[in-house]
Chain A
């Protein structure tokens, strides 16, 4: 399976805080506040630094690539991340 790259849709507009019970993401562009699982919060935090591939993200989070793929699709559905190639 080719390794897709992922990026935040509006990186400049995103703020995030990570806590043990989950993460809270603020999107200034859409003016939305969303609670994410700790793993999803970790993914957003990594993507705030630079676009990253699915494999690297799943290795970092200690999940398998398929689970990470499902998580990324869910984040894409919420307009938080997009495929970057």
Chain B
């Protein structure tokens, strides 16, 4: 390895990954502009991290760690009877423990919670974000609309993944800041995505979670490598999957788009007038659409055509 190349998780041996997970400093990975330090003594979690985060840069022990998190098993008899996993951030325990086999999912949810609560310099919208030809597509929708499946479909077609969960809109510059992470897939969408062409790596499958069966898809390497490159937002889409539905994309007015986004923005109420201004600037910079579709084969080419137009 040349001395100036960024060290990634894949450059570390399994023994070294485990040693870091056990250390006080934790395994320190770069998630875009943030460093998370992960501590854990759970073997299956170590395997899951190696599978999903192989391309992520490893931060040095001398780099400031933004978010120290810890996942451990509960002690005592529980360990043998029905093992559970606890998530801690700065020693605090924001969630109830989950069954042990959901450790990877809990890491993902825990990190989402940590990022959402600390990225205060952004208007944070619950949405998938991708980049095409230098411009950003924001797909906002409630759970169950097929947003993550569509996001995976586009990422596998070469769109750059910024996030499958959080649109971070800069309050000062209005740009989208990437936070690429594994794409969270639920229930039938896991198999839908597995059958897509392309190089697909899935993390462990967790059954019977609060969201049903959950698995995570490793993000494309190019998206992880470009995790510091911000993007100008250009399109806002509210997708809705319906089995057997025809593909219909309709333009939506800006006032309507604004109101729909408010319902998906985590910190909009807290930001007061600053949030209103940021949302207005975002809506002004974008064209809004609703999309109904029945399969990825319909919607992906449609979006490729829509987002090919000069910005």
Contact = CB atoms under 8 A, between A and B. Distances in A.
Contacts of B242: none
B273 A15 contact: yes
B188 interface: no
A17 B273 contact: no
A66 interface: no
Contact of A22 (B256, B262, B272): B256
B276 A15 contact: yes
B253 A19 contact: yes
Contacts of A20: 253-254
A2 to B, nearest CB: 34
Interface in B259-298: 259, 262, 268-269, 272-273, 276-277, 280, 283-284
Interface of B: 253-256, 258-259, 262, 268-269, 272-273, 276-277, 280, 283-284
Interface string A25-36: 010100101010
Given A24-B259, A28-B272, A33-B262, A17 B253 contact: no
Contacts of B272: 28, 31
Given A31-B269, A33-B262, A22 B276 contact: no
A33 B255 contact: no
Which bucket holds chain A's interface residue count?
Answer: 10 to 19
B269 A35 contact: no
B256 A33 contact: no
25 contacts: A15-B276, A15-B277, A17-B254, A17-B255, A17-B258, A17-B283, A17-B284, A19-B254, A19-B255, A19-B283, A20-B254, A21-B253, A22-B253, A22-B255, A22-B256, A24-B259, A26-B276, A28-B272, A28-B273, A31-B269, A33-B262, A33-B268, A35-B255, A35-B256, A35-B258
Interface of A: 15, 17, 19-24, 26, 28, 31, 33, 35
Contact of A23 (B255, B273, B277): B255
A30 to B, nearest CB: 11
Residues of B contacting A: mostly:
helix
Given A17-B255, A19-B253, A35-B259, 13 more contacts: A15-B276, A17-B254, A19-B254, A19-B258, A19-B283, A22-B253, A22-B255, A22-B256, A24-B258, A24-B276, A24-B280, A28-B273, A33-B259
Residues of A contacting B: mostly:
strand
A62 B49 CA distance: 64
In the A-B complex, the 8 residue pairs with the smallest Cβ-Cβ separation, listed nearest first, are A21-B253, A22-B255, A26-B276, A19-B254, A19-B255, A17-B280, A24-B258, A21-B255
Contact of A21 (B256, B280, B284): B256
Contacts of B255: 17, 19, 21-24, 35
A76 B143 CA distance: 37
A20 B268 CA distance: 23
Nearest to A36: B255
Contacts of A31: 269, 272
B250 to A, nearest CB: 12
A31 B262 CA distance: 12
A24 to B, nearest CB: 5
A26 B268 CA distance: 11
Nearest to A25: B276
A31 B272 CA distance: 7
A35 B280 CA distance: 13
Contacts of A19: 253-255, 258, 283
Contacts of A22: 253, 255-256
B128 to A, nearest CB: 23
A34 B269 CA distance: 13
A35 B256 CA distance: 8
